[in-house]
Amino acid sequence: MKALILSGGKGTRLRPLTHTGAKQLVPVVNKPILWYGIESIVAAGITDIGIILSPETGEEIKAKTGSGERFGAKITYILQENPDGLAHAVKIAQPFLKESPFVMYLGDNLIQDTLSEFLTQFQDKQLDSLILLRQVPDPTAFGVAKVAADGKVLGLVEKPKIPPSNLALVGVYFFSPAIHDAIARIQPSARGELEITDAIQTLIDHQKQVEACELTGWWLDTGKKDDLLEANRIILDECPLTACHGEVDDQSRITGRVKIGRGSKITNCTIRGPVIIGEDCHLDNCFIGPYSSISNRVSLVNADIEHSVVLESAKIVDIHQRIVDSVIGQRAQIKPAHPRPKALRLMVGDDSQIDLI
């Protein structure tokens, strides 16, 4: 059994962050989104992993993620020159996949359910495809499935104007080698892509065994700022965070579940968890509210922040308005505002400098 993680794409919904970096490397609770998928796959016992890369962000992903040794896996990187669809990604990965069954995982998705139970069903029933589904309020924005009472998939349609159900395809799929023949039979869609929904429909049309499971836990597509913040909130709620490896002075007050990394120094701050603070951070005279993730080497001085994600080496100084619902990019700098608004809500790309006047 192998795994294929799709980590290409331009991440247009997360710009400006993704103008300078890969969306799959944006951190949730101080860990790249991509790594959650890798860890989930390895936990299911699959250690031979291919990762699809784009030319724009591939080298950054390779440098950050490495050979897979840190995860107990072997990673093979596969370049997709153009974003020509999910099925196209499988097509170019065929030399890596060969005749092995595999799980395909979209690198910007997070699911709460473990993969092991789905893998067992896929293998025990000798299926050609097992798809994962989740009920959504607006299925017109997703691939949608029509499913029989016994779990057999009757049909799929991509972003339908009139959905046959409210069951959206989650970004995790299990396939037998039969998917390669199905992909060879399909043509590009109206948007010029080889759609994985068309390939799965071809399996169904040729009487292959295609079934579905509905997730019981949460599913998060982290393609937008608010989705990213929601993922950060949910995972902070689930993490064991009570640990302090840095320095906290006597004037600081810490309540709730808070994790502070090595080399970080906290002076005259109030921190209300759940909060994670990375390594080598400097926080002085700050309020850090719930559901905040502060990455490594961040400097916060005279600042209030909550329900936000601050990336590596960002610097926020003398901002007395509370920063809420924000994502602050790597090495970004934010300076004082006059006159003072009640609160700031920001989406700041890497290496930015913002002077509030």
Which pLDDT tens digit goes with each residue over 225-258? Answer: 888 899 999 999 988 777 889 999 999 999 999 9
The pLDDT-based confidence of 9 (bands split at 50, 70, 90) is low
Tell me the angle at which helices 178-185 and 196-205 cross, rounded to the nearest 10 degrees: 110
- pLDDT beyond 70 at 338: no
Q: Which of 235, 253, 272 is the last residue of a domain?
A: 235
Are residue 173 and residue 260 in the same domain, yes or no? no
Instruction: Tell me which residue of 294, 280, 311 sits closest to 16, measured CA to CA.
Output: 311
Phi, psi of 41 (to 5 degrees): -65, -45
pLDDT at residue 351, as a whole number = 61
Can you give the CATH number for the domain in which 43 is found? 3.90.550.10
Which of 235, 254, 282 finishes a domain? 235
Identify whether residues 39 and 146 lie together within a single domain.
yes
The yes-or-no verdict on residue 20 having pLDDT over 80 is no
Torsions phi, psi for 31 (to 5 deg): -135, 135
Q: Residues 263-314: pLDDT tens digits?
A: 999 999 999 999 999 999 999 999 999 999 999 999 999 999 999 999 999 9
Instruction: Give yes or no: residues 156 and 221 share one domain.
Output: yes
The enclosing domain of 305 has a CATH number of 2.160.10.10
**Can you tell me the distance from the alpha carbon of 101 to that of 56, in angstroms, rounded to the nearest whole number?**
29
Higher pLDDT, 21 or 58: 58
Closest by CA position to 347, among listed 14, 12, 9:
14
Residues 23 and 123 in one domain: yes
Judged by DSSP in three states, 39 sits in helix
Question: Which pLDDT score, from 0 to 100, does residue 19 have?
Answer: 47
Asked whether residue 219 falls in the same domain as residue 278, the answer is no
Average pLDDT over residues 17-34: 78
Q: How far apart are CA 136 and CA 114, in angstroms?
A: 20
* pLDDT surpassing 70 at residue 60: yes
The upper half-sphere exposure of residue 154, i.e. CA atoms within 13 Å in the direction of its Cβ, equals 8
Q: How many domains does the chain have?
A: 2
Q: Are residues 203 and 281 in the same domain?
A: no
- Same domain for 13 and 134, yes or no, is yes
Say whether both 36 and 57 belong to one domain: yes
**Which parts of 66-185 fold into alpha helices (H)?**
86-92, 94-97, 116-124, 178-185
Quote the tokens at residue 247: 């320095």
Domain that holds residue 326: 240-355
Looking at per-residue confidence, does 127 or 153 come out higher?
127
Q: Does residue 11 have a pLDDT over 80?
A: no
Asked if 101 and 121 touch (Cβ cutoff 8 Å), the reply is no
Highest mean pLDDT among 25-29, 101-105, 351-355: 101-105
Mean pLDDT (whole number) for 184-190: 92
What phi and psi values does residue 219 have, to the nearest 5 degrees? -135, 130
- For 113, half-sphere exposure in the C-beta direction (CA atoms, 13 angstrom radius) is 18
Q: Do 223 and 247 lie in a common domain?
A: no
Single residue among 235, 270, 290 that ends a domain in this structure: 235
pLDDT of res. 148? 86
Q: What is the pLDDT of residue 89?
A: 96
- Fill in the DSSP letter of residue 25: G
Tokens of 235: 């995972």
Question: Residues 25, 143: one domain?
Answer: yes
Q: Are strands 102-106 and 2-6 parallel, antiparallel or unpaired?
A: parallel
**Is the domain of 202 the same as that of 226?**
yes
The strand pairing partners of 243, in sequence order, are 259
- 201 and 280 housed in the same domain: no
User: Residues near 233 by Cβ (< 8 Å), separated by ≥ 6?
Assistant: 291, 307
- Encode pLDDT of 101-113 as tens digits: 999 999 989 998 9
